[in-house]
Amino acid sequence: MSDELWRWRAVDLVAAMHDGELSAREVLDDHMARIAAVDPAVNAIVTRVFGRALDDARRADAAYAHGESLGPLHGLPIAHKDLAMTAGIRTTMGSPLFADQVPTEDEELIRRLRAAGCVTLGKTNTPEFGAGSHTFNPVFGATRNPWDVTRSAGGSSGGAAAALAAGMVPIADGSDLGGSLRNPASFCGVVGFRPSPGTVPSWPSGDPWDPFPTGGPMARWAADVALLLGAMAGPHRRVPLRGAEWPFWPLDRSLAGLRVSWSDTAGGLPVERAVREALAGVPDRLAAHGCAVEDAFPDLSHARDTFQTLRAVGFERNLGALYDRDPDSLKDTIRWNVELARQQSAADVGRALGWRAALQDRVHAFFERFDLIALPTVQVLPFPVEWDWVREIEGEPMPTYLDWMRSCTDITVTGCPAISVPCGRSANGLPVGLQLVAPPGSDLLLLQVAHALDGDGWAPDRIAPVGSPSTP
């Protein structure tokens, strides 16, 4: 393996530290040097706590000296999304209103990662309150795509995805409501996994019954995602949703006989030609693994309106009081969500809940014929970093800032786990992701398929060169 430790897979780093071949301090030093070298061009890790990270690494090495391990993430560097509450570390949520906020307690996800032995380097950039799949905010500015720094890294876990693609960290946590793990994974050429609702419990929570938002893992390889998910997952006594059960191993399995539905337009959505061209070989590649691939897609009628209604209700619940105090302090898309929620009647919300139930029933029936659904993760290539959101796709106008993300948001409504895996590059070298969807609770199956695809050479280089603009 390379002497550059920042190129290593997380599972290999952990194994080497457990065997005494590497120290946590060596691993940390290599990643801190990589951050110093490339993050000025990317702007992914926006709050750094290297002193604390050195303390974490020393603790890991002291434990090893006594024949102990701190856990499955022993000594692994990680940076946490800036939406996650982290004790003693600034948590801004990308908002000037919280630019100086320093929580006194970790939220549950961070507590679990710390208990698993990770080494916290800092916080990764996110859009203001996580609104939108493009990472920019007035506190830290925009995160740039390491494959082409003139382009978006996606979002809202864009800082996490960019940090991974640039080799700054081997693993990263993120969250996903309408594609925030999957979209930036596709844009940056890494793996992003939205687990079944409840698999990664969120606490504190404004609505512990809400299945739309979830935490989840990101990494460059599926095995590293499985390692991280194992540290995140498990029930919590205050969270009623129950998702897929641990363990998320073994990953090695044959894909022969899996029935896969495939649509390069995600069931008829506008998708850039460059994306479809990059994914054109998907059916043959899956068939080479023994999968039976058929052009088909479930009926996701009303997914758009269901998502927009219920998402708006969540934004009003969480940010309505801020909107009332100072609406001008919130960006326009957040104000739009709050205002949309306040235009809804109880009957409107009830109708959306009914649409969701009917849609999920149709998808359940669809999975009686298929084991997996395959589709583009994102409908467009990474776009210029100066844009706020995509206004049209292949000549079709996008009415709202959510419509260009429907290949992800429609899947959120199904309640199914979904993973984005690197699948290839566009003609100008930009990453393109393949989204795989499985029945609720089938998280291990998705990890196994992603692991198998990792091994067939679809996207062997997971570290971006950091720079070189692509040709328009």
368 φ, ψ (degrees, to nearest 5): -75, -20
Q: Which residues contact 50 (CB under 8 A, 6 or more apart)?
A: 32, 121, 122
Tokens of 37: 């070298």
Confidence at residue 1, expressed as pLDDT on a 0 to 100 scale: 67
Angle at 448 between CA 419 and CA 370, to 5 degrees: 70
Of the candidates 37, 41, 44, 38, the residue with the CA atom closest to the CA atom of residue 143: 44
Helix (H) or strand (E) holding 126: none
**23, 81, 175, 202: the active-site residue:** 81
In sequence order, what DSSP letters do the residues of 353-409 get, joined into one string? HHHHHHHHHHHHHHTTT-SEEEEES-SSPPPBTT-SS--EETTEE-SSTTGGGHHHH
**95, 152, 156, 261: the active-site residue:** 156
Confidence at residue 469, expressed as pLDDT on a 0 to 100 scale: 54
Confidence at residue 468, expressed as pLDDT on a 0 to 100 scale: 56
State yes or no: is 23 an active-site residue.
Answer: no
Boundaries of every domain in the chain: 5-303+349-454
Confidence at residue 459, expressed as pLDDT on a 0 to 100 scale: 73
Confidence at residue 471, expressed as pLDDT on a 0 to 100 scale: 41
92-137 pLDDT tens trace: 999 999 999 999 999 999 999 999 999 999 999 999 999 999 999 9
Domain spanning 5-303+349-454, CATH class: alpha beta
181-219 pLDDT tens trace: 999 999 999 999 999 999 999 999 999 999 999 999 999
Confidence at residue 472, expressed as pLDDT on a 0 to 100 scale: 37
Q: Which residues of the chain have pLDDT under 70?
A: 1, 467-472
**157, 180, 407, 442: the active-site residue:** 180
Confidence at residue 367, expressed as pLDDT on a 0 to 100 scale: 98
State yes or no: is 156 an active-site residue.
Answer: yes
